[in-house]
Every structure is written in C-alpha cells, then in structure tokens.
A and B are shown apart, each in its own frame.
Chain A
Amino acid sequence: MNWPSITLWGFIATLTLTTLMAASLGIGLTRMNIPYMLGTMFTPNRDKAKLAGFFIHLVNGWLFALLYAAMFQSMHAASVWRGALLGAAHALVILTIGAYLLPGLHPRMASEHAGPTARRQLEPPGFLAHHYGFQTPLVALVAHVAFGMILGGFYQPV
C-alpha cells in the first residue's frame, strides 16, 4: 500500500466529494447533508453537528480511500475508469443498503414504520434517499464517481 499517496489523495477526494455534496445542497439539488447527518449521531445542536460531522466525514473518507487503495492493489492497477466504477458501486451501496440501514444505526433518526419519537426525529432517507429530493441519487452518484476517479487517477499502487 502506498501510504503517502492514499493519505494525500484520500484527503483530496473526500474534500471534493464533500464540496460537491455541499454545493448541491446550496444550489438546491438535494437536502442530503452528510456532515449534519453524521454529526447528529453525537449532538442535537445543528451548528455543532455540522462541524463535528464534517470531521467525521473526512475520517470516513480516508477509511473508504484505504478500501479503494486495497482494491487497486489487488487489481495491480489504478485508473480513472476503475475508480469511477468503484465510486458508482460505492454510491449504489450507500443509496440502497446504507439508506435502508441508517434509521437503525442513527440514534436520532426516525423510522418510517414507527414515526418520530422524542429522541428519533430526523427524517429517514428512504429508498435511494429520495426523501431528500428526487435528484439526490444522481447527486450522490456524481459525487462518489468523482471520489473514485480522483483516487483511481492519482493513487500509485506499489
């Protein structure tokens, strides 16, 4: 594993993904706010949650970058297209399995069946996270493909 390479490009890829998601939120393409969702696992305070969630997301991104790097290592090659493919698969997993499991994992997220409670009040994402806007799957796909392309394009397998 090329640790300096994955550290650097994992950071840049995560930052790009976060920026793309935040920009999509800002221009009204989606309401999926990953830092807020991650941060509310630890605090209900909106501002603190966003800040904490941002750093958690960075760490998450690095961890996923390690996984990507491991896959590139096992394939003995990394390329933009391989990265894009992995990114698309990553997005699909997040939008289907992740969105399905999240209400069970997130201590403040309501479930579709039980509705909100005193502790669980966050709107769940629903299938393909479409509760957060019908363009959310597309935004998530583009952001994760960009994540994969950066890693695939710049990571140097050893």
Chain B
Amino acid sequence: MTIGDYAIIGDCHSAALVSRLGSIDWLCWPRFDSDAVFAFLLDSRGGRFAITPVAPARTSRAYIQGTNVLVTRFETPAGSLRLTDVMPVASEENKAHRLVAEHEIIRLCECERGSVEIEIVYDPRPRFGQKKPRVREHGKLGLAMDVGPRSMILRTDAPMRSRDPGFGARVVLRSGEVLHFSLIWTDDGPAVLAPLGAFTRQAIGRSIAWWQGWSNACTYRGPFREQVLRSALVLKLMTYSPSGAIVAAPTTSLPERLGGDLNWDYRFCWLRDASLTARALFGLGFRCEAEAFVTWLLHTTRLTRPELRVLYDVYGETVMRERQLDLDGYRGARPVRVGNAARNQLQLDVYGEVISATTHFVASGNRIDHETQRMLRRFGNFVCDHWDDPDEGIWEERSGRRRHTYSRVMCWVALDRLLELASKGHLPNIDALRYQRTAAQIRLAVERLGWSPALASYVRDTARPCVDAALLLLPWYGFEPADSPRMRATWQRIRTRLCTPNGLFYRYRTGDSPGEGAFGVCAFWAAEYLALGGGTLAEAERMFEHVLRFANDVDLFAEEIDSTTGAPLGNFPQAFTHIGLINAALSIEERRQRGHAEPPLPKVGPKPQAEAAV
C-alpha cells in the first residue's frame, strides 16, 4: 500500500487510516497521540484489522456526501461487496438519551451482488506492536484485549477463531448478507457494548446525520466546493473536541523521503498553523470550531508565556521527549519516531501566528479578557526584545539557528496586529511607541538584509542567499503587496528555483533537504499569492486546479508530494496542506467576487543573477 491508498475516519478524539484493501492499518487510541494499537502502516508486526475479499477485486471508494463515513466497494468476478467504516459521532442531545461507547469503530460488510469470500484478520498490537497482546474470548461479550486496565473489545457476528497472529475468519457472503463489527475502547468505567444488527445501522445513520448537519454550516459557495468541504471535514476530524486543538496529522514517521530518515511525529498541535487555521475556519463559517481553537491557543500559550513552544499536545502540555521505536518503518524508512524534538526549538514566527489568530478571533465579534490582554502585551514585549535573535524558523531545521526573513516578518506581524488591536480599543496600555519603533526596525532589517539585490528576491535568511516558499505569505500577512515589484521578483525567483518538474513547489532547496518532495501547502500558497494580486484570477485558478490533481481518490493530501511521480509523501493526511487549500480557495473566491479586478502590471526589476550554490 502507498500512502495515497489510505483514507481517514475519526471521531474528533482519534483517527484511523483504512486502506483500499479494507484494512485498518493505523489507529492510535484513545487520543491522537496515544500509542498505536494498529501500526501495520509502519511495520508488518504492527497489527491491523482487515476485511478483504479473497479473490482479486477492483476497488472504488468514497465518503458519503458531506461526511467522514467511508464506503469502499470491492468488485470481484463472483460478486460485489460494500464495506462501510465509521467512528461514530452524535450530538450531545442524542448521547444524553443512550449509552454510548467512549470510542468505537463500526464496520459494516454487505454483499450487494453474487457471492464474495472474505478474509477477516483481527490482530491488535498494543503500544505500537511492542507489547504482546492478551486477547480473551468472552463469548457474547466479544474478544477483549486488556491494555493495562483499559480494554479494547471486538464484537461481531462473524465466526472469529484464534489464529497466529490474532484472530480471523474466512466467510462466504451471499447477496444481501451482512456482517457487523463493533470495535470499542474503554478506559473510564465498564465498557458500553453496542448490540449488532439494526443498532449498528442506526449508529451509522446518526453519524451520517451529524456530519451532514455539520457540513451544512459551511458558508463557502465558491468553486471547488467539494474539495474545500472535504478539507474542512479533514480539519474537523483532526480536531480534538474536548480542547479544540487541531493536530498536524494523525500519523508519525511517514517519510518525507522514501527510505530516508525525514520521519517525524506529527500527532501534535503546531502554533505555526494558528493564524492560517483560524482564518480557514472563520472563513468557511465554522465559528464554533474557530473560537474553540483560538481559545485553546490562548489557554495553551498562557502556560508558557511569554515564551512560546513550537508545538503542544492536545491539552496544551509540552510534547513528550522524542524517542525511536523498533519498527521497520514505512517501506523501510527508519527511524520511527514518537515525540518531537522540535519542542525545544525557538520559532519566532509563532508570535505573529498567535497574535494574528487573536485578531481573527476579535474581528469575529469576540472580546479578549484582561488576562489575555496582559499575555498579549508580554508577547509584544518579548518580540521587541528578541526579534533579531536567530531561530530555527518555520521549517524547524535541525542544523542550527539563523536569522530567518520569514520569522522577522512574523515578528513585524505580531507588533502590527497588537497596534491594530490597541487602535480599535481591544488592547489598552501597550507601549505603542516602542512597538511602532521596533516594527519599523524590523521592516528595515527585512528590506535590507532579507532582500538580495543579487537574486532580486527576498531570501530565506540573512546568511544564505536562497529563496523560501514561505515568503509567498508576505502579502497575505500585509507586509508587502502581492503586486509590488519586490514580491513579483520574489515570485519569479521562487518559480525558477523551487518549482518541481510536476509544477509544484519545494519549500526550499538546501543541503538540509535532499530528496524530499514538493511541499503540498506551498503550491496552495502560490495559488493564493496569485489570487491576492501576484497574478491574474485565471492564473490563480489554474494553479489551484493543478494542485488539486495531486489529491488521492478521496481528496486527501499528505504533507508532501513526490516531485516526479506525484505520489503523496510524509504524514497523512496533513492539516497544514488542507488549511492551505481552504485559504487559497477563499482568496480566489474573494478575488472573483471583487469582479475579476486585475492587479496593475508589474514594474520591471533588475535582472536576477544566479543563485548562490547551497
């Protein structure tokens, strides 16, 4: 299986990846960052839960419209099979009237035509397969696996037998016959064991209704609505509903370079994405989610103020120490890491992100309390004191700190937005003079040191004359108009230097990243840059449509895209990429609604010289 052969299901607490062959090969329970109970994705000993036709089958799959309920169809010569996968969700009102399992996966396997022989493999492996499972047969109560006092219980009407490994069955289903599977996880009190049959269908029906009700709140009516809504559904799936946090991806160590060591754990929440996430959610009309997210953000950052961590767990705690697991890795890409060493990095751009997200929050009619006001002032003071420090930058390089142009721009954004909040009466008692003076200093530093006359482009950092796709965000943050000569020249430089053979974009090209793929979100940033005035509306739409072609069959994007084959690379699905998709669509739609107003023609800049070898 390739990364693109997976689809995601989830319940806003955790998520599972289901392959085209009907196998759940990845599941961390009960939280996104818990240990995996199925990790076949990373090692054949990692455990899985497969329901697959024995005969070769043609597979097609899709989500039920406006939901995260996955339907996979298998066509074999003898018959066809429909497999429905869902992690049930329901409204609070609905849950108040019935017992509900804490966490559940429902699988419904129906033979639609002819007869199909299926193979069922249930092979749970707690703690990423590092622990030998002990599964007890409890008769009608199901197959129970204890993980400490926690329990995972499978109930099914399939005749499961003990096997090596795990449990399994081979069943011939004839037209109209159905098998039900309910896999639950419990750690708070006795398990709730849902009956099978009609009850299973009702649970699926409730989930469909809930997701469709949620999707109906989407106010976006522009082009590519289906893909935009799918991205919103992915974001919702990756939201940890008890806190409002959004994880970067539900997986760890899917490689950015096949067979390589660029394998990171993304099951945490990055502040880097904050402002873009807030804009995406508010922009689509998902006000509750946006407010929950910003509230989580403000609560979380309060714990470490005025210093901000790069990433936090779903409750705002510091992420666990990075360690390596003894797993083979996806197609041999080792090491497999859990935890993330980026937790100790300094990333100055996050100040701009958090403060900018707060301005979206305020702009939507919310107020900030005195405690948050005090925190924002401390952030502002911190930025004034530290904006010139070297940091690891947005891409979290592990090769040392540098003075990144993008980080400095985001420090400017932080002060600019604080001044804006103050001018609108939301943030009293700031040292406005100091903020204005520092913002002017930062602008001067960026315009002098972050600009290379030799390249005729803004550059990645003051030490290395090379470009960075993150610089395409400068217009979005209001630092520089998209149609300014400098931005147009930077765009030309980025296109020349970072464009991949298949028309996407690397995030940068230095010795730090040999062999890694195109960065998914960067191509959406390019589309957005064009929509903001860096190009024509048609150019922006063409770029956007081009990137959409690299989604998998259920419109999911990974972190990266192979620059030649177009295959997904890196953790999957990736919130950042989907946030980029939504924001690009919003900007394109805004441009379209402005009446196709074309930006002024670019001024001709100096001819760029060859970029320094890096």
Residues of A that sit less than 8 Å from B by CB? 25, 28-33, 36-37, 40, 44-46, 48, 108-110, 112-118, 121-125, 131-136
B149 touches A135 (CB 8 A): yes
B141 touches A123 (CB 8 A): yes
B149 touches A132 (CB 8 A): yes
The reply to whether the CB of B596 lies closer than 8 angstroms to some CB of chain A is: no
A30 touches B149 (CB 8 A): yes
Q: What 4 A-B pairs are tightest by C-beta distance, nearest first?
A: A115-B140, A133-B149, A33-B189, A123-B191
A131 touches B144 (CB 8 A): yes
B99 touches A28 (CB 8 A): no
17 contacts between A and B (CB under 8 A): A31-B186, A31-B187, A31-B188, A31-B189, A31-B191, A33-B189, A45-B95, A48-B96, A110-B141, A114-B140, A116-B195, A118-B199, A121-B99, A122-B99, A124-B141, A132-B149, A132-B190
Look across to chain A and name the residue whose beta carbon is closest to the beta carbon of B140: A115
- Shortest beta-carbon distance from A148 to chain B in Å: 24
A44 touches B99 (CB 8 A): yes
Most A Cβ at <10 Å: residue of B97, B149, B191, B199: B149
List residues of chain B with CB within 8 A of the CB of A46. 95, 99-100
**In the complex, per-residue mask of B176-192: 1 if CB is within 8 Å of any chain A CB, else 0:** 00000000001111111
B190 touches A37 (CB 8 A): yes
**How far does the alpha carbon of A45 sit from the alpha carbon of B98 in the complex, in Å?**
7
A116 touches B96 (CB 8 A): no
List residues of chain A with CB within 8 A of the CB of B594. none
Taking CB atoms and an 8 Å cut-off, the chain B residues in 148-202 that contact chain A are 148-151, 153, 155, 186-195, 199
**How far does the alpha carbon of A35 sit from the alpha carbon of B415 in the complex, in Å?**
51
A31 touches B194 (CB 8 A): no
B97 touches A133 (CB 8 A): no
- Shortest beta-carbon distance from A50 to chain B in Å: 8
A125 touches B190 (CB 8 A): yes
The reply to whether the CB of B396 lies closer than 8 angstroms to some CB of chain A is: no
**How far does the alpha carbon of A11 sit from the alpha carbon of B365 in the complex, in Å?**
48
The reply to whether the CB of B146 lies closer than 8 angstroms to some CB of chain A is: yes
Taking CB atoms and an 8 Å cut-off, the chain B residues in 132-150 that contact chain A are 138-141, 144, 146, 148-150
Most B Cβ at <10 Å: residue of A30, A110, A121, A125: A121
List residues of chain A with CB within 8 A of the CB of B186. 31, 123
- Shortest beta-carbon distance from A26 to chain B in Å: 9
For B195, give its contact among A29, A36, A117, A122 (CB under 8 Å): A117
List residues of chain B with CB within 8 A of the CB of A48. 96
- Shortest beta-carbon distance from A32 to chain B in Å: 8
A123 touches B100 (CB 8 A): no
Most B Cβ at <10 Å: residue of A29, A118, A125: A118
**How far does the alpha carbon of A112 sit from the alpha carbon of B141 in the complex, in Å?**
6
Look across to chain A and name the residue whose beta carbon is closest to the beta carbon of B149: A133
List residues of chain A with CB within 8 A of the CB of B188. 25, 31, 33, 36
**How far does the alpha carbon of A30 sit from the alpha carbon of B150 in the complex, in Å?**
8
By DSSP majority rule, is chain A's interface helix, strand, loop, or mixed?
A: loop
Look across to chain A and name the residue whose beta carbon is closest to the beta carbon of B195: A116
For B192, give its contact among A45, A121, A131 (CB under 8 Å): A121
A28 touches B95 (CB 8 A): no
A28 touches B148 (CB 8 A): yes
B99 touches A108 (CB 8 A): yes
For B139, give its contact among A32, A33, A112, A118 (CB under 8 Å): A112
Look across to chain B and name the residue whose beta carbon is closest to the beta carbon of A44: B99
Look across to chain B and name the residue whose beta carbon is closest to the beta carbon of A29: B149
- Shortest beta-carbon distance from B576 to chain A in Å: 33
Instruction: Given A114-B140, A118-B199, check contact A45 B190 (CB 8 Å).
Output: no
- Shortest beta-carbon distance from B199 to chain A in Å: 6
Look across to chain B and name the residue whose beta carbon is closest to the beta carbon of A134: B146
- Shortest beta-carbon distance from B177 to chain A in Å: 20
**How far does the alpha carbon of A36 sit from the alpha carbon of B187 in the complex, in Å?**
13
A123 touches B190 (CB 8 A): yes
- Shortest beta-carbon distance from B421 to chain A in Å: 37
List residues of chain A with CB within 8 A of the CB of B97. 44-45
**How far does the alpha carbon of A47 sit from the alpha carbon of B99 in the complex, in Å?**
11
A31 touches B150 (CB 8 A): yes
B195 touches A118 (CB 8 A): yes
**How far does the alpha carbon of A150 sit from the alpha carbon of B260 in the complex, in Å?**
61
**How far does the alpha carbon of A29 sit from the alpha carbon of B150 in the complex, in Å?**
9
List residues of chain B with CB within 8 A of the CB of A110. 141, 193
List residues of chain A with CB within 8 A of the CB of B150. 28, 31
List residues of chain A with CB within 8 A of the CB of B98. 44
B149 touches A31 (CB 8 A): yes
List residues of chain B with CB within 8 A of the CB of A114. 140
**How far does the alpha carbon of A48 sit from the alpha carbon of B95 in the complex, in Å?**
11
Look across to chain B and name the residue whose beta carbon is closest to the beta carbon of A24: B149
List residues of chain A with CB within 8 A of the CB of B149. 25, 28-31, 132-133, 135-136
A31 touches B151 (CB 8 A): yes
B141 touches A36 (CB 8 A): no
**How far does the alpha carbon of A63 sit from the alpha carbon of B192 in the complex, in Å?**
29
**How far does the alpha carbon of A25 sit from the alpha carbon of B100 in the complex, in Å?**
19
Instruction: Given A110-B141, A112-B139, A121-B99, check contact A36 B148 (CB 8 Å).
Output: no
**In the complex, per-residue mask of B69-98: 1 if CB is within 8 Å of any chain A CB, else 0:** 000000000000000000000000001111
List residues of chain B with CB within 8 A of the CB of A116. 140-141, 155, 193-195
For A133, give its contact among B146, B193, B195 (CB under 8 Å): B146
A121 touches B195 (CB 8 A): yes
- Shortest beta-carbon distance from A114 to chain B in Å: 7
- Shortest beta-carbon distance from B101 to chain A in Å: 8
- Shortest beta-carbon distance from A52 to chain B in Å: 13
**How far does the alpha carbon of A117 sit from the alpha carbon of B199 in the complex, in Å?**
9
**How far does the alpha carbon of A28 sit from the alpha carbon of B149 in the complex, in Å?**
6
Look across to chain A and name the residue whose beta carbon is closest to the beta carbon of B96: A45
**How far does the alpha carbon of A138 sit from the alpha carbon of B194 in the complex, in Å?**
29
**How far does the alpha carbon of A120 sit from the alpha carbon of B425 in the complex, in Å?**
57
- Shortest beta-carbon distance from B274 to chain A in Å: 30
B140 touches A31 (CB 8 A): no
Look across to chain B and name the residue whose beta carbon is closest to the beta carbon of A111: B140
**How far does the alpha carbon of A113 sit from the alpha carbon of B138 in the complex, in Å?**
10
**How far does the alpha carbon of A141 sit from the alpha carbon of B4 in the complex, in Å?**
52
Instruction: Given A31-B151, A112-B139, A114-B140, check contact A36 B192 (CB 8 Å).
Output: no
